């Protein structure tokens, strides 16, 4: 069985290093995590984002080459450093101190001309749009047939007005319950996802992740689909769990899986990632184990 797509998924956003309280540095950034997971799970993915001409940028390129990731979308910024985030953990739940003025903040719009065309789907978040990249996003949106927006709000690096602009017209929006509450404060809790669907003119669905309670899909047409989260044996932290969920959801969308199957497989892989420190692994067997029951 293979999940590899015949056309690439473009994944636009930040590549950076997560620095943990014990000093360990783990390659991350929500979009980069998604691209890494997609590749390791057998999908065709091209990451689009900036790194610095520094040791950290060289480490990112080296890590990508080690697993055979597509490097065509990786932009070498001439002056800005590779991204860094300091992570703080409270009972395993992460908070983030995100450094400003990083290489991923400033990628030339013309960079889109070097990328595979047309992609089956474009994935992006919001952090890499905090200071620029709006022209690049426009180029990428015009090329992609579908768009998956992972809201990933990171205070103080957004305005609600901007976020509503970025999600408008998406095929799929993914966000957690707190983000949904923040985006739709005027709606009652039971109506927020439905109202976001209408306000943002979402074409396919809003996916709401609920942490330990699982996730639910609010389709543009049809009934809400819910699924509980599986138990996690060997929990370490929840860093990257949402990115893991998004990765499998993207594969399911491109492959045409039924919504309940997408939810079950995405939640199961997110639970697996919670046994790691950080969001990804270089161990191919970790990803093979996640895929082996997909047949």
Say what the pLDDT of residue 124 is. 98
Say what the pLDDT of residue 208 is. 98
Mean pLDDT of the chain: 92
In the chain, where the domains are located: 9-287
CA distance 130 to 295: 40
Residues found in the chain: 295
Class of domain 9-287: alpha beta
Q: How far is CA 80 from CA 18, 50, 112, 155, 194, in A?
A: 17, 9, 20, 21, 41
pTM of the model: 0.93
Among 63-77, 96-110, 112-126, the least confident range: 112-126
Candidates 14, 9, 65; CA nearest to 42 is 9
Is 70 exceeded by the pLDDT of residue 5? no
């Amino acid at each position: 069985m293979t999940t590899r797509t015949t056309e690439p998924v473009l994944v636009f956003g930040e590549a950076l290093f997560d620095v943990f309280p014990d000093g360990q540095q783990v390659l991350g950034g929500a979009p980069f995590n998604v691209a890494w997971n997609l590749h390791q799970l057998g999908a065709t993915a091209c990451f689009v984002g900036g790194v610095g001409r520094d040791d950290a940028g060289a480490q990112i390129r080296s890590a990508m080459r080690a697993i055979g990731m597509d490097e065509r979308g990786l932009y070498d910024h001439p002056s800005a450093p590779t991204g860094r985030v300091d992570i703080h953990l409270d009972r395993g739940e992460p908070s983030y101190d995100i450094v400003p003025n990083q290489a991923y903040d400033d990628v030339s719009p013309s960079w889109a001309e070097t990328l595979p065309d047309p992609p089956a789907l474009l994935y992006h978040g919001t952090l890499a749009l905090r200071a620029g990249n709006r022209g690049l996003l426009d180029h990428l949106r015009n090329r992609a047939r579908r768009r998956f927006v992972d809201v990933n709000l990171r205070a103080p690096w957004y305005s609600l007005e901007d976020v509503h602009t970025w999600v408008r017209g998406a095929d799929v929006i993914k966000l957690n319950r707190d983000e949904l509450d923040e985006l739709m404060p005027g709606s009652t809790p039971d109506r927020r996802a439905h109202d976001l669907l209408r306000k943002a003119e979402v074409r396919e669905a809003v996916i709401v992740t609920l942490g330990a309670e699982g996730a639910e899909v609010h389709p543009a047409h049809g009934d809400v689909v819910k699924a509980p989260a599986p138990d996690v044996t060997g929990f370490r932290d929840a860093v990257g769990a949402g990115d893991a969920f998004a990765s499998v959801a993207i594969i399911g969308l491109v492959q045409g899986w039924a919504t309940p199957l997408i939810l079950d497989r995405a939640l199961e892989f997110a639970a697996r990632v919670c046994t790691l420190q950080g969001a990804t692994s270089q161990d191919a067997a970790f990803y093979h184990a996640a895929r082996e029951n997909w047949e």
